[in-house]
Structure 1
Amino acid sequence: MENSYRFYRNTACKYFPCHKVKNEEDFNCMFCYCPLYFLEDCGGNYINNQGIKDCTNCLIPHSPNGYDYINNKIMAINSERMRK
């Protein structure tokens, strides 16, 4: 994909890619750190490693559609909180 406000691939980063992936062309660096990390129900593939959320196996923020997924999740949480 082409770099844009939804997708950014930083091949100059010394950690690129920071997760093992099949196709580096689709690796999205837009969210280097996941904004959903602090949510208990983030929807990602994580494990609890002695009380620490280990997101090593989660590729949601690094997928081509990660931007949309994260923004939709944040909007849903905000809408839910506004109703309370």
Structure 2
Amino acid sequence: MENSHRFFRNAECKYFPCHKVDDDSEFNCLFCFCPLYCLGPKCGGDFVMRGGVKDCSKCLVPHRLEGYDHIMKKLVAWFAECRKRAQQDAQAPEAADGE
């Protein structure tokens, strides 16, 4: 199957589909949990904050066919940002003892 690394459908999962959709034939289960949750408002998905908790129950970004590309693009950017911060931290002079 072409692009099989981008799509996985588990219709036998007891939670399938985990979001209400009109047609579950193209519901992608590859990202069963969204790896972009930790990005907060930078995730690009359809979420709301409820009492300080991110509610993604109406978001279908990870479950759409094009969701793979969106998620990979966001993760690549996030990893680059983390590497840049780590390099900056490694180059920063350490605070003197006792400060």
1:69-80 residue pairs with structure 2 within 5 A? 69-80=70-81
1:7 CA drift (Å): 0.2
Report how many aligned residue pairs link the two structures.
Answer: 84
Which position in structure 1 is the counterpart of 2:26? 26
TM-score between the two structures when normalised by the length of structure 1: 0.88
Query: Going by fraction, where is helix more abundant, 1 or 2?
Result: 2
Over the aligned positions, Cα root-mean-square deviation in angstroms equals 1.9
Which position in structure 2 is the counterpart of 1:12? 12
8 A contact 1:30–1:62 mirrored in 2: yes
Q: Deviations over 1:8-43 (max 9, x none)?
A: 000000110000112201100000000000112100
> Aligned with 1:48: secondary structure?
strand
Which position in structure 2 is the counterpart of 1:36? 36
Q: State the percentage of identical aligned residues.
A: 54
* Structure 2 gap ranges (5+): 86-99
AA in 1 matched with 2:52: G
Greater C-alpha Rg: 2
AA in 1 matched with 2:12: A
Larger RCO (alpha carbons 8 Å, 6+ apart):
1
* Structure 1 gap ranges (5+): none
Counterpart CA distance in 2 for 1:4 and 1:12 is 18
Greater mean deviation of Cα atoms: 48-57 or 70-79: 70-79
